[in-house]
Amino acid sequence: MARIHYSVVAVLPDESTKARYLRWLREGHLRGVIAGGAELAHVLTVDGPEIRIQTRYEFSDREAFDRYEREFAPALRTDGKKRFGSIEDVRFERMVAEELAED
């Protein structure tokens, strides 16, 4: 079965919001996604003119990711919206990718 790579990019308006966002990730959000089935989590700064933080998660297969989406993601996303949704210019971009099988 193919591994699933899930990433969320947060576009943030300023360094203060970036610091709050990173603290939130490190103080529990990453552990919440891992508890929901992710095997790995990485936090990256994305090059460019905007402040962008990418979190990348790896799931063993589509079934594990689908379970995360059904059972864990709604509460985690609600928490993120509660903390950052009212801040002007905060945006979240999500992407799901499936690893290609090796020949």
What is the residue range of 13's domain?
4-98
Q: Answer for the pair 56, 9: CB distance below 8 angstroms, yes or no.
A: no
pLDDT at residue 103 in the model? 58
Q: What is the CATH number of the domain that holds 11?
A: 3.30.70.100
**Domain presence at residue 60:** yes
61, two tokens? 């297969």
pLDDT at residue 85 in the model? 84
**Domain presence at residue 77:** yes
Q: What is the pLDDT along the chain (103 residues), one digit of tens a residue?
A: 799 999 999 999 999 999 999 999 999 999 999 999 999 999 999 999 999 999 999 999 999 999 999 999 999 999 999 999 888 889 999 999 999 876 5
Q: For residue 96, give every residue at least 6 positions away whose Cβ sits within 8 Å of its Cβ, in sequence order, or none.
A: 4, 5, 6, 65
CB atoms within 10 A of CB 61: 14
pLDDT at residue 58 in the model? 97
Q: Count how many domains the chain has.
A: 1
**Domain presence at residue 23:** yes
